[in-house]
Chains A and B, each alone.
Chain A
Amino acid sequence: MLGLATVPSQDVTAARSRAIRIRINGVWRDFTVGADLPAPTTLAYLLREKLGLTGLKVSCDEGACGACTVLRDGKAVLSCMVLAVEADGHDILTIEGLPDDDPVVEAFARQCEPGYGTALQCGYCTPGFVMAARALLDENPSPTPAQIKEALSGNICRCGCYSAIAQAVLHASEAIAARGRAR
């Protein structure tokens, strides 16, 4: 993954216009990199400011908190650390692209059992956690608590709901398994 380099202004204005295509939540979208979309535009900025997909949050804008996590070709990436041009030709899934009955969303929303609290308080980090958990469960549908901890330790929840988040991921894993059995 590339960091967002500081691009001198003359390069920005001189950037040649270039057409890019990104598949966002299942729909191919065309953009022209140039005056309207300066080359240093991050994927996070494009999604939030240009497309109104505000579920992901930009908090640190330097890859330290995970609030902007989206899936690129099924893998969790920090959209503040991906340039829009780097997403050219790729498949991007934001939280808005999850189905209404997504088991991870449901598990985060409903988490409340005694001893852990809720999986979210202010909710600002939550879409990032949900997407990181989604990527984990797609790869490993029955993670152990240690695997959950490892997969989600790149995300910050300042409200501190970590133990309930881990519970929610376990419950989501159970729900996915139950749906699998039901099919």
Chain B
Amino acid sequence: MRQPFTPRTERAFLGKYRPKIDGRDKARGAALYADDIARERSFPGMLYAKVLRSPYPHARILSLDASEAEKTPGVKAVLTYKDPMIASLKKTNAGWTDGVDTVSFRKMMWGTFRDRCVLGDYACWAGDEVGLALAAESELIAEEALALVRVEWEVLPFVLDPIEAMKPGAPPVHPDIAANNVFPADPFGGGDVFVDKGDVDEGFRRADLVVEGRSVYHNATQNSLDNWCCLVEWVGDSLTVWSNSYATDQTRMHISQMLGLPIHKVRAVSSFVGGQFGRGDTGDQPFFLFTALLAKKAGRPVKFRHTRRESFHDSRQPAIYEAKVGVMRDGTIRAMHCKSVGNAGAYADHTMFALKYAPKEITEVALAHVSDVRFESFGVYTNKLPACMMRGVGNSQFNLIFGLMIDLVAERLGMDPLELCVKNFGHEWESLPDRSLERVLEEGARRIGWKEKRHLPGRGPAFDGVKKRGVGFSCHPAWHAEWQEVRRGKVQVGITLNPDCTVMLKAPSVETGNGSNTCNVLGCAEALGFLDVRVEDIHWSATVDSDQGMKDCVQTDSAVSYLQSEVMAQAARELKDRLRETAAPVFGLEPGELEIEGGRVFPAASPEKGMKVKDLLGSGDLAPISVLMSRSPLAEKTGVPYFANFAEVEVDTGTGRVETLKLVVVNDCGTVMYASGAEAQQVGGQCIGLGEALTEEIIYDRATGIPLNFNWIDYHIPTMADMPDIEPVLLEVWKGGGEYGACGIGEGTVTCTPRAILNAIYNAVGARIDEIPVTPDKILRALGKA
């Protein structure tokens, strides 16, 4: 039995270890995902769509002959780039929003970078959807017809490396937006220098010591098992889209705006989603549009699903960081300068969010006490697959340099890096040391055995003659407190109390696996404590349907674990008032004279004269009592909690193989909403974190620009055999505003893993590898053996 977490405040439902509410349905295969609902048996007459993909990293269609494909028996609709339905579509972007809010075409976040054509004639990466889409009676027929399309390509020179892409004469990817491939300044991200606090040059002059470092983050990809798919059906001039989008309200808005349909003519439905992890940015993807247009043309429902290989269609953004830190002898960090180049790949999407917005947030909440800070970033187009969100956006890339600089500076000063962090990092509203950071680091150090296991780099004992062990850590401020969610707009929930005192909960939020549906049901039970409601008395729906007329709380920022529960707490208070009003005439008292507790309503002055709420409701008109609440997140700045990962590794200096022996994952949650779910996120995140650190990378053939490993044989995702012992540690030190004052943790569980492992490798062998993934060849090179 592992050490369980102890809640700061004991609650009836929240903060417990218990099974997931959908555990049984998922374990017996009864949970229905988009690909299960939208199948031949459910939609007789359904067609399958396939899209033409560019075989070249950079090319233009000179001519296209689809006549053979059109003649293929079973092909029911063909659309090409010349078709007016397609050619009239506006140029768009897949980064309309960062997922927290619903936005229109005009208000999209990255409107400066409208670089995507829907089925245009211009391909920007090997795999880009261009030129033609068709729908046929079966996927086999669709594939065969696609192979009959004859295309004459103008093959253009390509560039994969962002540094090469910035040089004069490099092939421009989107010359109308970025003549030299370097992104222009934009209203949201800002200029190249986007943080310039104090005088960084003067800071370095005054510092006792200046340390420099570099880190390179390659592109891992999300790899949700549930490949992205959609099915579109038209009835008259109304369209329904079933999909595994994680944002139904934004899906509806995207389709409405791009196809020129009034919002009420578009219905977007999502059910269970088999993993999200940031894929496809916010879902404003062209495939929804061409599937809808094929369905319209064919007059039949059309399904489009990506194959697994096609699902390698976006990645974490690769980034090169260089940093310089000026520090005083006592360990006070005086100045910090970071410069980064992000490889956006073929389309901009959220590049500037990763490069600028996320690091800028960190300067406010962690580097507030460093007097001189300058950050500059360059987003660069290349002919790789588009890159952006993946369990966080830019945070992991920034942590790779941040944790390196902490390790480098501490080593030069002869100081414990944990001490260096506590001495310097904190948010802008409080004095140092930050209590959350202190506790997170103390707990992590204790559990990994920091003092006992850490030694001078490379100076530890050898095991089996050639194996060396080491420990390392990295820490990061969380970015999921409620005040950081204010851009999200209204969070909506509905609670309906039935006459038998059972509850219909409306808390629309697509269940992508992170357990927010369990959090919501537990939050509802907690809020309705005065009714003595049990979890099994609450009905929740696994289907999010835009026809409900409510905005779904999108699964970004890992914040759905608490945002809707916070609103439920308020909705429950209003429900209580409504019940008092219902009871007042029955008791012949004013509503304010009544109290409700333990499922009973009674006069506050004489509690023994009460009755069961169930009896009260059952004796009336049997109309359910409904409360609908729509509220913005609280904007009060309450500081931020911290999280950290600690790693112990064993490096085989003969083969260069790294084995991770143990990971300790520590999160200050404010309030733990659902302990088993939170620990599942902490343990589970390490599959991505460890994969990114050691094995996961999309590999391109440099001669042709074609990606080589779009499959799970050559792209290695850690399986059970690869995983170390993982110890999750939940803390409640910081507290945010509102009823619970929780924060999201899911994205952050991944952020520090690569850097913690890299620092542990350095501790083990005394040589630094600052490019991930750390494959054996890199270890052997660093040890001078290759």
Contact = CB atoms under 8 A, between A and B. Distances in A.
Contact of A95 (B3, B29, B39, B718): B29
Interface in B3-35: 3-5, 17-20, 22-33, 35
A118 B20 contact: yes
Given A116-B683, A163-B723, 15 more contacts: A52-B41, A54-B39, A56-B29, A65-B225, A108-B23, A114-B17, A115-B727, A117-B681, A121-B680, A123-B31, A130-B28, A150-B721, A153-B719, A159-B275, A160-B684
B711 A64 contact: yes
23 contacts: A59-B227, A60-B711, A64-B308, A65-B712, A96-B28, A109-B20, A109-B28, A110-B19, A114-B3, A121-B515, A123-B22, A123-B274, A124-B33, A125-B274, A126-B26, A127-B29, A152-B719, A157-B687, A158-B687, A159-B687, A160-B683, A160-B684, A162-B687
A150 B722 CA distance: 11
B97 interface: no
B541 interface: no
Contacts of B679: 114-117
A165 B20 CA distance: 14
A176 B422 CA distance: 50
A122 B728 CA distance: 19
Contact of A60 (B31, B32, B308, B513): B308
B23 A49 contact: no
Contact of A112 (B140, B272, B676): B676
Interface in B715-740: 717-721, 723, 725-728
Given A54-B39, A96-B29, A122-B272, A112 B4 contact: no
B645 interface: no
A61 B308 contact: yes
A143 to B, nearest CB: 13
A55 B28 contact: yes
A9 B148 CA distance: 12
Interface in A77-136: 94-96, 98, 102, 105-106, 108-127, 130
B27 A126 contact: yes
A38 B274 CA distance: 29
B643 to A, nearest CB: 16
A54 B32 contact: yes
Interface string B30-64: 11110110011100000000000000000000000
Report, as a range, how many residues of chain A touch the other chain: 35 or more
A122 B275 contact: yes
A152 B720 CA distance: 7
A158 B223 contact: yes
Given A67-B225, A114-B5, A121 B513 contact: yes
A123 B712 CA distance: 19
A109 to B, nearest CB: 4
Given A108-B23, A118-B515, A48 B307 contact: no
A116 B2 contact: yes
Report, as a range, how many residues of chain B touch the other chain: 35 or more
Contacts of B25: 123
A102 B30 CA distance: 14
A105 B512 CA distance: 20
A13 B728 CA distance: 56
Contacts of B683: 116-117, 160-164
A157 B223 CA distance: 10
Contact of A38 (B17, B140, B677, B725): B140
B703 interface: no
B4 A114 contact: yes
Contact of B717 (A61, A112, A127, A158): A158
Contacts of B721: 149-150, 153
B358 interface: no
A50 interface: yes
B513 A123 contact: yes
A118 B681 CA distance: 9
Interface in A127-181: 127, 130, 148-150, 152-166
B26 A57 contact: no
A170 to B, nearest CB: 13
Contacts of B4: 114-115
B257 interface: no
A163 B726 contact: yes
Given A116-B683, A122-B226, A123-B22, A159 B513 contact: yes
A116 B681 CA distance: 10
Nearest 3 CB-CB pairings of A with B:
A55-B29, A115-B2, A122-B513
A30 interface: no
B29 A126 contact: yes
Nearest to A126: B26
B273 A122 contact: yes
B173 interface: no
A138 B486 CA distance: 53
B675 interface: yes
Contacts of A166: 720
